[in-house]
Structures are given as structure tokens and as C-alpha cells.
Structure 1
């Protein structure tokens, strides 16, 4: 194989590796954002808001029999 072709192949491999690492870093950053959001939503008073969002039909009516 010609040295120029080997150099091109090596460069293409390096570009592909850099692109893969870049995509992986973006995925990891988004995962951290998701974790931060979930942690924020699970604190204190936000738990009731999550429960209501998950089951909005519960707690809206009271049945009273006398």
C-alpha cells in the first residue's frame, strides 16, 4: 500500500474516532442534565406535583354520605 494511502486511511480513522467521542460526550452531558432534572423534581414539595401529574384524576373529588 502506498504511504499516502496509509496516511489518508489513518487520518480518516482518527476523524471517525474523534466524531464518536464527541457524540459520546454529548450523550453523557444530556444524561447528566436528565439526572439533575430528576433530582430536582424529586425534592420536597415537587413530589406532590409529580404524583398529581402522574394521576391527575385522584384527589379531585370527595364523596360524602350522610
Structure 2
């Protein structure tokens, strides 16, 4: 067991592995996904930019209905 005390290495490889990367437009992109993919995030700090790019990449991005105060 991997959580066993003092056992730092496993004797077998990982059971399930991802064979393909996630794509947010795999089965035909909706209009919102197309807009999110084409959007360029400029004028943001690096952390905010990374968060928004991650959200777009994994289909978690929701566009704001009203502009947010910065």
C-alpha cells in the first residue's frame, strides 16, 4: 500500500494513465467556447493570466455578465 508507513516506493506501475490530452472543442465547439479560445488576456498579472488560460483550456471559463472592478 502506498500510504503504508515507511514504504517510500511502489512495487507496481500506475494502473490508469491518460492516453490523450483533454480538448475543449473535441465534439464541435459552441459559440461560447470559440469566443473563449480566441480571447487574448492582456493587461493582467501573470497569476491571473495563468488562471484564466487554465479555465479556458479545461472548459471551466464562464464569461462575466458585467465588467469587474480591478
| Same fold (TM > 0.5) | no
Greater percentage in helix = 1
TM-score (norm: length of structure 1): 0.25
RCO comparison, higher one (Cα < 8 Å, 6+) = 2
TM-score (norm: length of structure 2): 0.25
Task: Return the index of the structure with the highest Cα Rg.
Answer: 1
